[in-house]
Structure 1
Amino acid sequence: MTYKIGEILTGTVTGVQTYGAFVSLDAHTQGLIHISEIQSGFTKNIRDVVQIGEKLQVQIIDIDEYTQKISLSRRTLEKQFVRPPYHRKHYFTDKNKQIGFQTIDEHLPGWIDEAMDILSS
């Protein structure tokens, strides 16, 4: 049977690895759902989401021209996209201390003295 990109099919999970799940589409054809295509958001452990023998609805997202390997997705069939939680960026600054930048010239004598003390002991 020939498959086309965008086709939605029902398949059976035949194997689960840390990087994805193998899905049998028919008696002679298998595809792979990469872990990033299992569901939207972060998937820590794929075995928590799919099990061997489970029937899944999948969509073909790519077919390799030369090897005929089929890439599948469940994420594209989700009705609502799950957004990852917002993480506030943390900038490492001395903004609250109001010290500002001091030149190396001011600190260098102290650093040299400190290094000499360490070396002599």
Structure 2
Amino acid sequence: MSIEAGSKLQGKVTGITHFGAFVELPGGSTGLVHISEVADNYVKDINEFLKVGDEVLVKVVNVESDGKIGLSIRKAQDRPERPERPERAPRPEGASRPAGRPSGGQRPSRPQGGGRGGARPNQPRPAVSFEDKMSRFLKDSEERISTLKRQTESKRGGRGARRG
């Protein structure tokens, strides 16, 4: 009997390891059911689900060129098909997401302008060059660093190094 991917067969568990179970198939060949293919839920200990000598229905997942046979107990079980979700209508070009629902699990972004001063709704912001942005960033950064240095130096006695 030839074993082909996709076929369902009755087999007998011949060995159990920490990573799966070996199942003897009709015709004497043996395949492996990986621990992830034993049940639909998480399997911590395969011995809770299978024992040597158990008769199991398996589905052939793959047959490799070197003769290894990959099996699945989980995929062999007939369960009702989940109803497919209806297709969503594509979002029109340029349409934004509904308010209060950020995309991709991200936090909503802050309003333009950093929240300082009054917001000017529906007014375009003046274009700022990269150089202007960079110089503003460097100025803010230097101010923060100097404040931090003053605070840490006062805690250390003003000399910069701790004396032991």
Greater relative contact order (Cα < 8 A, sep 6+): 1
Q: Where in structure 2 are the equivalents of 1:76-115 lying within 5 Å?
A: 76-78=75-77, 79=79, 105=145, 106-108=147-149, 110=151
Q: Structure 1: how far apart are the matches of 2:74 and 2:43?
A: 11
Q: CA RMSD in A?
A: 2.7
Do the aligned partners of residues 111 and 36 (structure 1) sit closer, same or farther apart at CA in structure 2, a change above 3 Å counting?
Answer: farther
1:15-37 CA distance string (max 9 Å, x none): 00010000000352000000111
Say whether 1:13 aligns with 2:13.
yes
Instruction: Give the AA of the match of 1:10.
Output: Q
SS in 1 for 2:75: helix
Greater gyration radius? 2
How far apart are 1:40 and its partner, in Å?
Answer: 1.2
Q: Percent identity between the aligned chains?
A: 28
AA of the residue aligned to 1:50: L
CA distance in 1, matches of 2:152, 2:29: 68
The gaps in structure 2 that reach 5 residues or longer are 82-140
Amino acid of the structure 2 residue aligned with 1:32: L
TM-score calculated relative to the size of structure 2 = 0.51
C-alpha distance in 1 between matches for 2:149 and 2:28 = 72
Q: Give 1:19-98 correspondences, 5 Å limit.
A: 19-26=19-26, 28-65=28-65, 67-78=66-77, 79=79
Residues 42 and 68 of structure 1: CA distance in aligned 2, closer, same or farther (over 3 Å): same
Per-residue CA shift, 1:18-59, capped at 9, x if unaligned? 100000003520000001111112111111110000000000
4+ long deviations beyond 4 Å: 108-117
Post-superposition Cα deviations, 1:55-103, rounded to whole Å, max 9, x if no partner, equal: 00000000002x111000011123269xxxxxxxxxxxxxxxxxxxxx7
TM-score by length of 1: 0.68
How many equivalent residue pairs?
98
**Cα distance in 1 between the residues matched to 2:20 and 2:152:** 53
* d(CA) in 2 for partners of 1:27, 1:9: 11
Maintained 8 Å contact 2:59/2:73: yes
**What residue is the counterpart of 1:88 in the other structure?**
none
